[in-house]
Structure 1
Amino acid sequence: MNTRNLFRVFNRPVILNCICKRDKGYKIVQRPDPKTLKMPNLADAPSIMTIIKEKQRLNGPLTVAEYMHIVITNPTEGYYEKKDVIGETGDFITSPEISQLFGEILAVWFYAETQKMSPGKPLQIVELGPGKATLLIDILRVLNRYGYKAPDLTLHLVEISTAMQVAQANRLCVSHRETDLESPHNREGETVSGIKVYWYNDLKKVPNNFSWYIAHEFFDVLPIHKFEKTEEGWREVLIDLDENDKLRYRISANETQATRVLVRPPLDAGDRKALEISPRSLGIARQLANRVDQFGGIALIADYGHTGEKEDTFRAFHKHKIVDPLENPGMADLTADVDFSQLRLAASMTPGDENYALVVGPVAQMEFLQRMQANARLQVLVDNAKTENDKEKIEAAYDMLVNPTKMGERFKFMAFYPSGMAQILEKYPPLGFSTPK
């Protein structure tokens, strides 16, 4: 057979139906319409303890981060889904709930620092974990004095708890509604003055625009991994059940994946024997730094914390008292002090291909408020008080905020600025973080 005939043979169509016919290897199914899906009946939802036991049965001991995630964020039995937890009748109280002065000072700070870079309009205000929305209400009152109207700003709230979203919406809005699953935000509303308000379950979904980012008592509830240094090296603290089905701590026998990934220089430097690391916190700090640097704005973090010197801060609050975090999971607020030195590492970078932020702070809450002349605002509030009892309450609230033995030293402030503001901040140092000249 010559070459031409050989190619003719290879080019003939080959019919394989008789020998290669086969049935389809898949089955077509109809997916449910997401709009028809409903949450399970709350009465049928398993308890937090049942969820923890089942997860341990399937996967073994939990990390502290897994435990916190279950307790705080479970959609039916999670801590923030079940009750009013903030305020005098709840488990803890925050600075905005103590005094209107706190939110007013923060509004003045944001406005003054923004004037160093732009007019600040249009403006997005983004708050992470807005609580009862008290801080935003106080900020909006000040911005109204500065001439901000509905077309000038929008509010964007990052909140994973459906119950908290509804509570915030009821305080902020004259009307609000849930959105469909295709929308990047899962709730929207409008204030009495016409300001649009949007709710998200993830910071990544918030539009990338010039923004004020507020994270007040937000990082302290993000899940942490706990580690202890043993004779064999760093090992992770885990949670399992004892012979009486009670939760307890135990040390991992070998290195866990979290140990290999998270425990590295400079976090493990020195003679420290324990570490608490929140990868979620580090990721969000990096997001805030990138957003501020790429799209403009300022981020302000206010939380109780330290600069790397503390080792074991994981605890729970119930009725304003510290309780065992492993007792009655879901009934108490789980929290850990924020390590501001770790947030600084996550947000600050040497200039390069990736974006980074200029990081200032942390400074103690007492110093920040006093440098912002909060005592002058205090005097105005006292002078306008109608009764002596009202005056005493106002002064007592201020003392709670600035007294070193109360919230004054434990709470700290840190801010992220765009990297291009280095020379501006050198000439005009950040208010609240430096002593006014």
Structure 2
Amino acid sequence: MSDQLSLSDLINVQIEAQGPMSLSTYMNLCLTHPTLGYYRKSDPLGRTGDFITAPEISQMFGEMLGVWVAQIWQQLDKPNRLTLVELGPGRGTLMADMVRIFQSVPGLLDALNVQLLETNPVLKQQQAEKIKGVTLSWVEEIHQLKEVDGPIISIANEFFDALPIKQFQYIKGNWYERLVGLKDGQRVWGLSPTPMPADAFPPQLGTPEENAIWEMAYPAQKNMEELGALLAEKTGALLAIDYGYAQTQTGETLQALEKHKMVDPLDHPGEADITAHVDFEALTEKLDRERLNICPLITQGQFLKAMGIEMRAKAIIDHIPDAKQKVENDLDRLIGAQQMGELFKVQAIGSKNMVPYPFEAG
């Protein structure tokens, strides 16, 4: 059927047959349908795509993460076997920039086992072409990493924001799940007729305002739990960078981007990138705090400054004076309070007794 019908038609057929669908089901189809999903069929990144991630803005971003990985390897006493896994590595730009840093750290490349969590065949090909100097392996599920040797360092840059969410709306003292339905052949928002039990919602929400929206990202929490268990078993550290908020709260953050413009998430399934802000408190709340060190959240600006990005920018300008304006613009975009510097947060997690630099113990 999928050979004849568009993803939009397929979703409508499913709603007609089974009734309104959860937002998480809708997002899952939009993003990961085997042949028509957004992340399965094309390259969404860059100036001709739908959005630009930090590694695509400037090499300095990836270089600072490379410095961080090298620092963690040293904190781990330079093991002769280290697995570095990147979740959702895009075109491979971030990993390529990190590897360039590793080349100047004696012994690190020899120890390194690079694993990329990726499902998009177009991006896999680009990663293979772009990332030089290391042997690459690909996995499609986190559990496949259980077989690796030695400590593990995980990098997740704008990974969790792209995982499906559910939305709930507060009406007259009850929470109802928001659903995607059909009206006159058009997809529209609706509500489940059945209220949800009150104890299913975080106490931090208190008594919300009428019509408040709460977003719950179960797949993101599940992935983080798997990563946490892996980290506790093998030791090492995890770094997650994403736009989001520190404490669980109400508020709708769902958005869709198509060719760098905001569009209605219900309009073009499979053609737009659909994301939501990350609730970092919920993301880490079920991790084993006896075996893991969940560091306090910091901003992307704080993290990159601590890793030396301002000195790196100065060094580039000194070397290539003509690049001054671009480097300064890129730096402001990455660390500026009005740009990505405050909106993007950085969550580090270390194995027991491991406090990843430059974070504080949790």
Give the conservation status (yes or no) of the 8 Å contact 1:128–1:157: yes
Give the conservation status (yes or no) of the 8 Å contact 2:80–2:110: no
After TM superposition, give the deviation of residue 267 of structure 1 in Å.
Answer: 5.5
Counterpart CA distance in 1 for 2:159 and 2:20 is 27
Identity %: 32
Query: Residue 367 in 1 paired to residue 306 in 2?
Result: no
Which structure has the larger Rg? 1
Counterpart CA distance in 2 for 1:329 and 1:56 is 14
Partner residue, 2:171? 230
Partner residue, 1:3? none
Q: Which residue identity is paired with 2:301?
A: M
After TM superposition, give the deviation of residue 357 of structure 1 in Å.
Answer: 1.8
After TM superposition, give the deviation of residue 148 of structure 1 in Å.
Answer: 3.8
Partner residue, 1:124? 83
Deviation digits for residues 96-132 of structure 1, max 9, x if unmatched? 1111111111111122233223213311110110011
Structure 2 residue matching 1:400: 3-state secondary structure: helix
Distance 1:269 1:282, change over 3 A: farther
**Cα RMSD for the two superposed structures:** 2.1
Distance 1:196 1:223, change over 3 A: same
Q: 2:208 aligns with which of 258, 267, 271?
A: 271
Structure 2 residue matching 1:299: 3-state secondary structure: strand
Structure of higher RCO (CA pairs closer than 8 Å, 6+ residues apart): 2
Partner residue, 2:353? 420
Counterpart CA distance in 2 for 1:283 and 1:57 is 30
Counterpart CA distance in 2 for 1:78 and 1:100 is 29
Q: 1:330 aligns with which of 262, 267, 270?
A: 270
Task: Tell me the TM-score normalised to structure 2 length.
Answer: 0.92
Counterpart CA distance in 1 for 2:325 and 2:50 is 24
After TM superposition, give the deviation of residue 145 of structure 1 in Å.
Answer: 0.5
Query: Residue 205 in 1 paired to residue 138 in 2?
Result: no
Counterpart CA distance in 2 for 1:278 and 1:383 is 45
Task: Tell me the TM-score normalised to structure 1 length.
Answer: 0.77
Q: 2:193 aligns with which of 223, 231, 253?
A: 253
Counterpart CA distance in 1 for 2:65 and 2:338 is 22
Q: Which residue identity is paired with 2:271?
A: M
Counterpart CA distance in 2 for 1:361 and 1:120 is 26
Q: 1:241 aligns with which of 182, 194, 201?
A: 182
Counterpart CA distance in 2 for 1:359 and 1:115 is 20
Structure 2 residue matching 1:140: 3-state secondary structure: helix
Give the conservation status (yes or no) of the 8 Å contact 1:361–1:413: no
Partner residue, 1:99? 58
Give the conservation status (yes or no) of the 8 Å contact 2:38–2:273: yes
Unaligned runs of 5+ in 2: none
Partner residue, 1:217? 158
Q: Which moved more, 1:202-211 or 1:390-399?
A: 202-211
After TM superposition, give the deviation of residue 310 of structure 1 in Å.
Answer: 4.9
Q: Which moved more, 1:320-329 or 1:264-273?
A: 264-273
Partner residue, 2:101? 142
Query: Residue 314 in 1 paired to residue 254 in 2?
Result: yes
Query: Residue 409 in 1 paired to residue 346 in 2?
Result: no
How many positions carry a matched residue from both structures? 355
Unaligned runs of 5+ in 1: 1-39, 173-190
Distance 1:261 1:93, change over 3 A: farther
After TM superposition, give the deviation of residue 249 of structure 1 in Å.
Answer: 0.6
Partner residue, 1:20? none
Counterpart CA distance in 2 for 1:323 and 1:432 is 38
Counterpart CA distance in 2 for 1:242 and 1:147 is 63
After TM superposition, give the deviation of residue 419 of structure 1 in Å.
Answer: 1.9
Give the conservation status (yes or no) of the 8 Å contact 1:367–1:432: no
TM alignment of 1:373-384, pairs within 5 A: 373-384=308-319
Q: Which residue identity is paired with 1:292?
A: L
Distance 1:113 1:155, change over 3 A: closer
Give the conservation status (yes or no) of the 8 Å contact 2:41–2:120: no
Deviation digits for residues 144-182 of structure 1, max 9, x if unmatched? 11024654212111112222222222323xxxxxxxxxx
Distance 1:268 1:89, change over 3 A: same
Give the conservation status (yes or no) of the 8 Å contact 1:75–1:161: no
